[in-house]
Structure 1
Amino acid sequence: MKILIIEDEYLIAEGVSLTLQSAGHEVTGIAEDLSSALALAGQERPDMAFVDIKLANGSSGLDVARALKGMGVTCVFATGNPPNKAQAGGVGLGYIAKPFSPRVLVQTAAFVAGVLSSGASAAMAPNGFNTL
């Protein structure tokens, strides 16, 4: 699965990228704000994106997720500031809370792949994944 990472903390972004690549996913890029996320998503449309809520340059992960949803990209928030249902407004499938383990990250990506390919239900979500 092609995955875009939107995270402004370099070490976290690199760790997420390496973990996902080790699990067989293709990371299409790492963005730290709205403009770079949209540029990367436009170049090579990802299947999904892991999106932090608080980003560089005052960008909001919620705004990024809204824009990506409009491009047909499924978003999961990976954040220390979990959104509530009113905030997320249906733009994200759910969230994993920082700090998260590599296992939760990989299982969440596999769950989203199942949702996209076969319509897997929220009941099949891994531990650590929270629906919105």
Structure 2
Amino acid sequence: MRILLVEDEVLIALEQQLYLETVGHDVVGPAVTAAEAVAFAADGKPDLALVDVHLGMGSNGIDAARQLTAMGVPCLFITSFRDELKKGGPLTGIGCLPKPFTQSGLLAAVDAARAILAGETPRNVPQTMELFV
């Protein structure tokens, strides 16, 4: 899968990139603001975006996810701020994997998202992951 990282914490983005590339995913980004995320997506549409809620320069991952979803890019939140996802209207995205995450948890969450996008029932949903669909 081609996966866009929307994460302003450099070390977390590098960790995600390492885990994802290890199993063969093509990683784009990281985008550190909502505007950057939209620009990356416009450049080459990713199959999935992993989105943090709090982004750099006062930017908001929920806004980024709404814009990405409107562009046809499905989003999975990876955040410590799960409660903020429920404020301000309907939930956007496939679900949420809370931070901190493990390598196996992140990969299982991405696989669950892939299954949902393919119309399949996910087999191995991480215990801490909340699905919105």
Once the 2 structures are TM-superposed, how far is the Cα of residue 123 of structure 1 from its aligned partner? Answer: 7.7
* Alpha-carbon offset, residue 121 of structure 1: 3.6
- Given that 1:62 and 1:88 are in contact with CA atoms closer than 8 Å, whether structure 2 keeps it comes out as no
- The runs of 5 or more residues in structure 1 that have no matched partner are none
TM-score between both structures, scaled by the size of structure 2 = 0.90
Q: TM-score, normalization: structure 1? A: 0.91
Write the mapping of 1:97-112 to structure 2, written as runs, cut at 5 A. 97-112=98-113
Q: Which amino acid aligns with 1:18?
A: L
Paired amino acid for 1:90: L
1:4 deviation in Å?
Answer: 0.3
Q: 8 Å contact 1:37–1:64 — kept in the other structure? A: yes
Consecutive unaligned residues in structure 2, runs of 5 or more: none
Cα pair distance change 1:23/1:122, threshold 3 Å: closer
After superposition, give the CA deviation of every residue in 1:72-116 in whole Å (9 maximum; x if it has no partner): 111111001114444462311110111011111001111111111
Aligned residues: 131
Counterpart residue identity of residue 8, structure 1: D
Q: Spell out the pairing of 1:89-104 with structure 2 (5 A cutoff).
A: 89-104=90-105
Q: CA deviation digits over 1:45-95, x for unaligned, max 9? A: 011111000010111100000000001111111001114444462311110
Q: Is the CA contact (8 Å cut-off) linking 1:28 and 1:44 kept in structure 2?
A: no
Contact 2:79 2:96 in 1 (8 A): yes
Q: Measure, in 2, the Cα distance between the counterparts of 1:49 and 1:123.
A: 20
Equivalent residue runs for 1:40-79 within 5 Å: 40-79=40-79
8 Å contact 2:113–2:122 — kept in the other structure?
A: no
**C-alpha distance in structure 2 between counterparts of 1:103 and 1:124, whole Å:** 10
CA RMSD of aligned residues (A): 1.7
Question: Runs (4+) of structure 1 moved beyond 6 Å?
Answer: none
1:19 corresponding residue in structure 2: 19
1:127 aligns to 2:127 (yes or no): yes
Local SS of the residue matching 1:91:
coil
Q: Residue 10 of structure 1 aligns with which residue?
A: 10
